[in-house]
Chains A and B, each alone.
Chain A
Amino acid sequence: MTEHGDGLLRALGRVEPSRPAVLEAAREALWSAVAAEMLATRPPGDSRRGKAAGPEHEHRRRDGPGS
């Protein structure tokens, strides 16, 4: 294909940048699944909120939905 043809093809696939709110909403759905799995895999008798509950987890979670 010609260089011009490739350029047209690329132009055809150009889209506006994704909106941050949309990306956040999709991550929120993922976080729900992550949280459910963390709770489900908590060892018997473990009273912590989740297997990965700790400073690093809390730091990551602050970047999640609702932040």
Chain B
Amino acid sequence: MDTDDAMLIERSVRGRPDAFVEVVRRHDSAVHAFLARRAGRQAADDLLGEVWLRAFAARGGYDPARAGARPWLYGIARNVLRAHWSARPDPAGVAGRESADPWDEVVDRLDSAAQVQTLVSALRALPVTERDALLLVAWEQLTPAEAAVVLGVPQGTVRSRLHRARSALRPLLEET
């Protein structure tokens, strides 16, 4: 990569806002997939533009020490998802989250449906903070340090959440 994300963002802040579009080009598929995994394809289609607008507005606060912007963008996407869910008629999220949950359709495509159902149940039973940390590593292939940027918590906190999540899931997965 000739120019890292931090340099492009810096350029976009200093009089060349169009430089930010290149950052978006690099990460748009990944951010869309991040949204789709958590809220389904339709919501991802609807929310992606909002992520870019928020990121563009917030770019002045980007930490230039971070060469790659993806964790920062996932953090913004996460906030957009939260706003999306909280704006639903059912703020408790029970009905709304279930109807937007993409897991059911994924389960249908997998062979080992019984094992997957067990896993889905176990994931749903995890505290949200632990599940978020686990899925950032398992789904987005982030390091714990990158997941910490997304979640806005220290790296050690992510590591302990990961440990607890894996400990909770291990017996269930070994039984199946």
Contact = CB atoms under 8 A, between A and B. Distances in A.
Interface residues of A, number: 37
Interface string A29-46: 111011001100100000
Given A23-B48, A33-B53, A38-B17, A5 B174 contact: yes
* Interface majority SS (helix, strand, loop, mixed), chain A: helix
Interface of B: 15-18, 20-21, 24-25, 28-29, 32-33, 36-37, 41, 44-45, 48-53, 56-57, 102-103, 106-107, 110, 112, 115-116, 119-120, 123, 134-135, 138-139, 166, 169-170, 173-174
Given A26-B52, A27-B24, A29-B49, A10 B138 contact: yes
Given A5-B173, A51-B15, A18 B33 contact: yes
Contacts of A38: 17-18
Given A8-B112, A9-B138, A11-B110, A34 B119 contact: no
